[in-house]
Structure 1
């Protein structure tokens, strides 16, 4: 396994069973299931799945667990622009967290034999990697994304990538967006409406380290503009409090926007959160199916 997939696996683990099941669109729409293993019965399980012979031998009620044979075409859509050079609340570079998220989704598709591709870029345009299967293909995608994000990238504009996908990908598929937290405006609303009309969309947002008020009151700078940000001590307690209220309002508006557009989404502060957040995100996707 390549460097990027190996790193992603250290945060995500190897158990991908049950993830990305469901959704509106799949390559194979059969209802057939493949037996996987047995587990203890819990209230709410379908009694038709009880394995009576195995239950009698063990002395406990066991049910059969199945793996869906439905496969997806998956498209990763990623921001590789300047905003991904910023730091997360854990101190990691946002592009490092993003490549681990992308790698984790790749690991899920490996276990399901899904086809996976990627569109990434910045405001200057998009790079399109066609959908294929396999570990080598996924590692190559991660390598190309990481190289672009680590170079002198242009300003971030995830709407540019969303518009490209809406224009060039006409067949229904599962789209997983990995970006920073976008500004809610008319451009974003139009792009999301175009995508959700045809595709299933999941969105993982890598969060920024707060600009001020973290206790370490050193001055910083905005990676998007290169301008310096004054430290909390210089700004004063009232300005810092106003900033925090504005941030809470921004996060709430973004969550309301995603919910209104029926886009399952999550915010990820660092690589250590990837497993828990993606399990939650894919669970919402499965229930929506």
Structure 2
């Protein structure tokens, strides 16, 4: 594997079995011809999968295990704007954690022979990478995302979602990777359009709280200005800020739940596997 996939693998691990097995729009096949492994028979297995020759040699009943019977067309939709240069609660760059999430989804598709592509960008527009299969393709996508930081514009994930809603008409699985979005009519409108045609899930990279950084409470990477300024030392201001953040997160959760979009918030790369397993598990149970 290339350096980006290897970096993700060191965090996420190599076991991707059972992930992304659900979804309304999975492309169904009666059986792939790609053999995976033999395992012991357990009650409830399809008897047609018993390998009688191998069972006779081993002295126990063995089942042929195949790669997943459901395949997806997976489209990663990623924010590559200025907001992704902010820090997570653990101090990592949000774009680095986002790259780990994108890579983890790539590893999952490798094990399933899914097609995968990506749309990324900022408020100025979107870059479209066509759907393909294979390790080299995924490594190239991760490389391009990692090197998209030379001239970042303002973040606007709705811009990328609008691009997808306009240019991708066939049903697929959309995986959005961004910071925690602000809820407004634009976001609600495009989510409604996408949810009507596609499966979707959303991995949000958490911001470091403004109250946790510096005497002025941290700064907004979009404007370069302090978030709280001199009021950062006022307990009433801090309490009001925390209440506003709770309301904002509640609005995000309400909107995504309304459109049946599984979602997680990831505070850092140490949470990568747990959060991705949780996210894809919700998706699989919904399929």
Instruction: Give a deviation string over 1:245-280, Cα, whole Å, max 9, x none.
Output: 111111111111111110001000001111011111
Structure 2 equivalent of residue 250 of structure 1: 248
How many Å apart are 1:31 and its aligned residue?
4.0
CA 1:40 to 1:96, structure 2 compared with 1: closer, same or farther past 3 Å?
farther
Structure 2 equivalent of residue 205 of structure 1: 204
How many Å apart are 1:178 and its aligned residue?
0.3
Corresponding position: 1:32 with 2:10: no
Structure 2 equivalent of residue 162 of structure 1: 161
Matched position secondary structure for 1:182: coil
Unaligned runs of 5+ in 2: none
Matched position secondary structure for 1:22: coil
How many Å apart are 1:134 and its aligned residue?
1.0
Contact between 2:86 and 2:207, CA under 8 Å: does it hold in 1?
yes
Matches for 1:178-197 after TM superposition, within 5 Å? 178-197=177-196
Structure 2 equivalent of residue 241 of structure 1: 239
CA distance in 2, matches of 1:240, 1:36: 56
Structure 2 equivalent of residue 288 of structure 1: 286
CA distance in 2, matches of 1:156, 1:233: 27
Contact between 2:19 and 2:277, CA under 8 Å: does it hold in 1?
yes
How many Å apart are 1:161 and its aligned residue?
0.2
How many Å apart are 1:232 and its aligned residue?
8.0
CA distance in 2, matches of 1:40, 1:238: 63
Contact between 1:203 and 1:265, CA under 8 Å: does it hold in 2?
yes
How many Å apart are 1:235 and its aligned residue?
3.4
How many Å apart are 1:123 and its aligned residue?
0.2
Count of aligned pairs between the two proteins: 279
Corresponding position: 1:78 with 2:78: yes
Matches for 1:3-82 after TM superposition, within 5 Å? 3-27=3-27, 29-32=28-31, 36-38=37-39, 46=44, 67-82=67-82
CA 1:270 to 1:39, structure 2 compared with 1: closer, same or farther past 3 Å?
farther
Contact between 1:36 and 1:67, CA under 8 Å: does it hold in 2?
no
Matched position secondary structure for 1:247: helix
Q: Among residues 224, 227, 233, which one is paired with 1:226 in the alignment?
A: 224
Structure 1 equivalent of residue 105 of structure 2: 105
Contact between 1:76 and 1:118, CA under 8 Å: does it hold in 2?
yes
CA distance in 1, matches of 2:246, 2:277: 25
Contact between 1:217 and 1:233, CA under 8 Å: does it hold in 2?
no
CA RMSD, Structure 1 to Structure 2 (Å): 2.6
Contact between 2:38 and 2:62, CA under 8 Å: does it hold in 1?
no
CA 1:211 to 1:37, structure 2 compared with 1: closer, same or farther past 3 Å?
farther
Unaligned runs of 5+ in 1: none
State the TM-score, normalized to the length of structure 2. 0.88
CA 1:239 to 1:46, structure 2 compared with 1: closer, same or farther past 3 Å?
farther
How many Å apart are 1:146 and its aligned residue?
1.2
CA distance in 1, matches of 2:143, 2:205: 19
Instruction: Give a deviation string over 1:202-225, Cα, whole Å, max 9, x none.
Output: 11000100001x376465221011
Contact between 2:216 and 2:232, CA under 8 Å: does it hold in 1?
no
CA 1:18 to 1:160, structure 2 compared with 1: closer, same or farther past 3 Å?
same
Contact between 1:18 and 1:67, CA under 8 Å: does it hold in 2?
no
